[in-house]
């Protein structure tokens, strides 16, 4: 497993764990459970995987291509879903003649952030599939 | 020559060599030339274009 694969696994696992934690705590804690998204802060450790060690190649041209594709998928999907969900929520609440609760927008933003990194990590891992076999 | 020694010689990871062997990755021109130089032959002797 190379450094960029480790980054992808970290992004996927941290995003999924944060989402599961929030979903698990929400019935008991309500909006306070959103603090569970703080786990996403662990994504800050990913640059440590990309540290150069001696003459070892950490990231090459293929890794850069895979990262670019994964980022387009992750950010693109999250952005489109964020906009669509905001339009739907606004229309629904307008239809009911109610204000959109700010807590709902907060949930939405955090969820899209987690979704973005989960898709980015998963896309990169799919690209790396099958290239870890020995000579 | 092992995949790792070729990867070290041309400055990529072993996974990239595997991906090229399996046809799932098309190398850049610079990388193709570096690989050809390692084998002391022409690029077209190492790679072929599937049209």
Q: How many residues does chain B have?
A: 51
Rounded Cα distance, A79 and A85, in Å: 10
Complex ipTM over 0.90: no
Tens digit of each residue's pLDDT (9 = 90 or more) over A11-61: 999 999 999 999 999 898 888 888 999 999 999 998 888 888 777 788 889
Tell me if chain B has a CB within 8 Å of the CB of A61.
yes
Distance from the Cα of B47 to chain A's closest Cα (Å) equals: 17
User: Which chain B residues contact residue A132 at CB under 8 A?
Assistant: 15, 18
The residues, ordered by sequence, that sit 6+ positions from A106 with a Cβ below 8 Å of its Cβ are A31, A34
Rounded Cα distance, B5 and B12, in Å: 10
pTM value surpassing 0.80:
yes
Tens digit of each residue's pLDDT (9 = 90 or more) over A101-113: 888 888 889 999 9
């Amino acid at each position: 497993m190379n450094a960029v694969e480790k980054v992808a696994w970290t992004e996927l696992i941290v995003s999924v764990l944060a989402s599961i934690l929030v979903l698990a705590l929400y019935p008991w804690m309500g909006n306070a459970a959103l603090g569970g998204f703080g786990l996403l802060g662990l994504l800050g450790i990913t640059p440590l995987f990309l540290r150069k060690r001696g003459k070892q190649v950490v990231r090459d041209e293929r890794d850069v291509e895979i990262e670019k594709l994964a980022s387009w998928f992750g950010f693109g999907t999250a952005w489109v879903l964020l906009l669509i969900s905001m339009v739907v929520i606004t229309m629904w609440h307008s239809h009911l003649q109610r204000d959109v609760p700010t807590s709902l927008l907060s949930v939405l933003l955090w969820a899209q952030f987690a979704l973005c990194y989960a898709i980015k990590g998963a896309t990169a891992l799919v690209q790396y599939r099958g290239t870890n076999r020995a000579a | 020559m092992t995949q790792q020694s070729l990867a070290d010689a041309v400055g990529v990871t072993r996974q990239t060599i595997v991906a090229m062997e399996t046809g799932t990755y098309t190398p850049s021109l610079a990388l193709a030339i570096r690989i050809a130089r390692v084998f002391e032959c022409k690029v077209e002797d190492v790679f072929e274009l599937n049209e």
